[in-house]
Amino acid sequence: MDKKALEALLKDMTIEEKVMQLVQIPGSEYEADAEITGVERGQVKDNVKRLAGSTLGIWGAKRLRKIQEQYMKEHPHHIPLMFMLDVIHGHKTVLPCPLGQGAAFDPEAVRKGAEMQAREAAADGVHATFSPMADLCRDARWGRIMESTGEDKLLNSRMAAAMVEGYQGKDRKDPEHIAACVKHFAAYGAAEGGRDYNNTELSEHTLREHYLRSYGEAIKKDPAMVMTSFNSINGIPATGSTFLMKKILREEFGFQGVLISDWGAVGEMINHGYAEDMKDAALKGMLAGVDIDMCSGCYSTHLEELVNTGAVSVEMLDAAVLRVLNMKNDLGLFEDPYRGCNAETGPVITEEGRQLAREAVAASLVLLENKDKTLPLRKDKIAFIGPFADTKRLQSAWAFSGEDENTVTVWEAASEIYAPENRKVAAGCTMMDQDAVTARGICHVENWQQENDRLLAEAVRTAEWADTVVLCLGEDSTQSGEATSKASLKLPAVQRDLLRAIRKTGKKIVTLIFTGRPLELEEVRDLSDALMICWLPGTEGGHGVMDILTGKCAPSGRLPVSFPYTVGQEPLHYDVYPTGRPKPVNGPFEYTSRYLDCENGALYPFGYGLSYTDFAYSDPKLSAQKMTDAETITASITVRNTGDRRGGVTVQLYIRDVTGSRVRPVRELADFKKITLDPGTEETVSFTIKEEMLRFWTAGEKWASEPGKFLVWICNDSNDGQPLEFQLVKAKGE
């Protein structure tokens, strides 16, 4: 449909029809078993169900085609309904959770993964996904950290941008792609106390310098939608913030697409104490520029009245409706409301998709410890012990459209490799402690203590039989994600008891940690011979893990987020600001910025990760010691594989602006490159330093670089390397 036809359609619509295009209702109104209903079915009035512009939480080619046919038949202008779904890290073929994908430091792989997700979701009738989540996350207590790609703004920016490209492709009408939605705007990851839905308090400097960057880079890829966040920012709910939604998002970032609220967020402005009632909430949402009200009922109940009384102008309403109609038109829904929807087969898990997922798992795993080269595993008797050893629950709570039956467990993958006489499996304990099970109301176990005693005894016998134990521990998928904030980052007590008991057998222990967030692992490190983070790896989790354990490929993942010694350090991140009283490396520590009972930094820092081979860095250099705004400097280093195995490494470039009009971080990731080297070979890795990489939100309230000294590290992680130095000088007359 061309622009004139679309505008003519808008002009011919009634006020009620227009308003309802801005209303999203739960999929349960159309199908009883829709996911994440939020409200009881039947609570939405018939006229809203008949005219609502979009729905969510429902998929399936056959049933969506049926719903669409009925909807278009009843709609006065036969405008198609839009189906949206949380396709976060997979639809049918589930990839590692986004935090795990961040660990690969590979935007191109992330783009390919998003493209596969889009292809599967589109074949199931889905038009749009609520992904990527570009929130900067520095607090492991916040459960939704698993949905981010970590604590660094550069890494998050590249990953979020790649996801948008993968989901949407080059043509939104392509029936194998879907619309992307950048979320949650803004600063949702900075919730106070790491508690979901909570307030955030950020200066404009911190907001711009750190938290807004990844959204901005993702928006440059022209996503169809942006979603508001649940939190308030400096006392104003994000969903009602004209500063965020109009000044930043629309004016500065130039976003032209649809702005949608998160679930019920328009109505929640009442709970925040920012809106008096649903009518006031609808008004404030519209004035802030929110185009679609997701499931709060405020727009459907009160927006028509607000327009008729002049509180909301017809021009404002039309602008919002036109954005929604444009999105539907860009997706080709007016020509084909069933785009990509194969009612006969729906999405199919392919071998190609499984292979992509398997490679993504292997690339995401982060080896933290490998004492005495315990890994890769040798050809001896292996015991796979722990609640994650043979579970199909390897995807996160945000992969609800994936089926457990398609998941390959660690034990299943191991059974393809080891002969029956060389492998055994034992659960060892329940997944969670009894209090956690009771609190969540799930997985009830009769005679809980007796059952754990039995499982522990069985695990000890199994370990005594083995030469090496692969201990599969971690947090259940229900323990991370939305509404799963935690004040403790320890493994469940039953799992820690299992680790201690297995350690007493004297056998080699390879500990695998399956998790959606950083955990406290100091004791786990001390009791393990090898330690590896496996995240929530998804459909091909078992195969990907075994590919690394057996040495089929070497680990190359790097931590996208810092792992603390203790939860008391949270929020924790590497790019901190220097203090006037820094803790000295040597010498007395009194009256300096330090903890009495813990290190300041991370147990395992951002960017950290080991391989099965060793890499030597030599001859770091800069092409010049001075540069102007119009010039560049090349930073380079030679990396050599000094071990006896082929391996990959992520070479990381960090920069520090030593003196500025605002205090600058001790170092910031400026670029990274992944290389793979055979034993005995080397490669010179080069980075180009440009003036725009040196800009920050200055004391003059603008983006600019400032002349002065800069330090550069080319290294393994955020706590590694020796700095080089250069000067940024301004040309005469500037």
Residues 320 and 360 reside in one and the same domain: no
pLDDT in tens, 630-679: 999 999 999 999 999 999 999 999 999 999 999 999 999 999 999 999 99
Residue pointed to by tokens 């839905």: 197
600 domain residue, yes or no: no
Mean pLDDT of 517-544: 98
Residues 400 and 468 reside in one and the same domain: yes
Averaged confidence pLDDT in the chain = 95
Q: Which of 86, 152, 262, 547 is the catalytic position?
A: 262
pLDDT in tens, 681-697: 999 999 999 999 999 99
CATH number at residue 655: 2.60.40.10
Residues 330 and 407 reside in one and the same domain: no
Mean pLDDT of 48-76: 95
Two structure tokens written together for 731: 């040309």
- Among 540, 560, 580, where does a domain finish? 560
Q: 628, 705 in Cβ contact below 8 A?
A: no
324 domain residue, yes or no: yes
What pLDDT is recorded for position 304?
98
Residues 361 and 334 reside in one and the same domain: no
Q: Which domain holds residue 435?
A: 351-560
Residues 315 and 362 reside in one and the same domain: no
Residue (of 412, 680, 653, 362) closest to 535 by Cα position:
362
Active site residue 2: no
Q: Percentage of the chain with pLDDT > 70?
A: 96
CA-to-CA distance for 670 and 573, rounded, in angstroms? Answer: 16
Which amino acid does the sequence have at 421? E
pLDDT: which is higher, 662 or 588: 662
- Among 319, 341, 363, where does a domain finish? 341
- HEC states along 538-558? CCCHHHHHHHHHCCCCCCCCC
CA-to-CA distance for 321 and 312, rounded, in angstroms? Answer: 13
pLDDT in tens, 18-38: 999 999 999 999 986 665 544
* CA atoms within 13 A of residue 188's CA, in its CB half-sphere: 26
CA-to-CA distance for 35 and 686, rounded, in angstroms? Answer: 48
Mean pLDDT of 174-201: 97
Q: What is the largest CA-CA distance in the chain?
A: 80
Two structure tokens written together for 710: 């800069």
pLDDT for 442 beyond 60: no
Residue pointed to by tokens 């080069």: 686
- SS3 label, residue 280: helix
CA-to-CA distance for 556 and 650, rounded, in angstroms? Answer: 7
Phi/psi at 555 (5° precision): -65, 140
Residue (of 21, 716, 623) closest to 319 by Cα position:
21
Residues 687 and 705 reside in one and the same domain: yes
Give the H or E element holding residue 187.
none
Two structure tokens written together for 368: 């933290």
CA-to-CA distance for 210 and 195, rounded, in angstroms? Answer: 20
DSSP state of 211: I
Residues 320 and 356 reside in one and the same domain: no
CA-to-CA distance for 58 and 514, rounded, in angstroms? Answer: 28
Residues 301 and 358 reside in one and the same domain: no
pLDDT in tens, 450-490: 999 999 999 999 999 999 999 999 999 999 999 999 999 99
Count up the domains in the chain and report the number.
3
CA-to-CA distance for 306 and 459, rounded, in angstroms? Answer: 66
Two structure tokens written together for 10: 């808008």
- SS3 label, residue 248: helix
Mean pLDDT of 381-402: 96
- SS3 label, residue 685: strand
pLDDT for 40 beyond 70: no
Q: 567, 141 in Cβ contact below 8 A?
A: yes
Strand order through the sheet with 128-129: 128-129, 82-85, 54-56, 23-26, 293-294
**Residues 6 or more apart in contact with residue 528 via CB below 8 angstroms:** 369, 471, 499, 509, 510, 511
Q: Are strands 724-728 and 708-715 parallel, antiparallel or unpaired?
A: antiparallel
Q: 695, 707 in Cβ contact below 8 A?
A: no
440 domain residue, yes or no: yes
Q: 132, 98 in Cβ contact below 8 A?
A: yes
Q: Report the range of poorest mean pLDDT among 47-61, 585-599, 620-634, 685-699.
A: 585-599
pLDDT in tens, 210-242: 999 999 999 999 999 999 999 999 999 999 999
CATH number at residue 18: 3.20.20.300
CA-to-CA distance for 529 and 522, rounded, in angstroms? Answer: 13
**Residues 6 or more apart in contact with residue 363 via CB below 8 angstroms:** 103, 104, 106, 109, 556, 557
Q: 689, 661 in Cβ contact below 8 A?
A: no
What pTM does this model have? Answer: 0.96
Residues 250 and 276 reside in one and the same domain: yes
DSSP state of 590: T
- Among 290, 322, 341, where does a domain finish? 341
pLDDT for 152 beyond 60: yes
Q: Which runs of consecutive H residues, i.e. helices, occur in 254-387?
A: 269-272, 278-288, 298-308, 314-330, 351-364
What pLDDT is recorded for position 38?
47
Residue pointed to by tokens 């961040």: 102
CATH number at residue 364: 3.40.50.1700
What pLDDT is recorded for position 37?
43
CA-to-CA distance for 730 and 574, rounded, in angstroms? Answer: 30
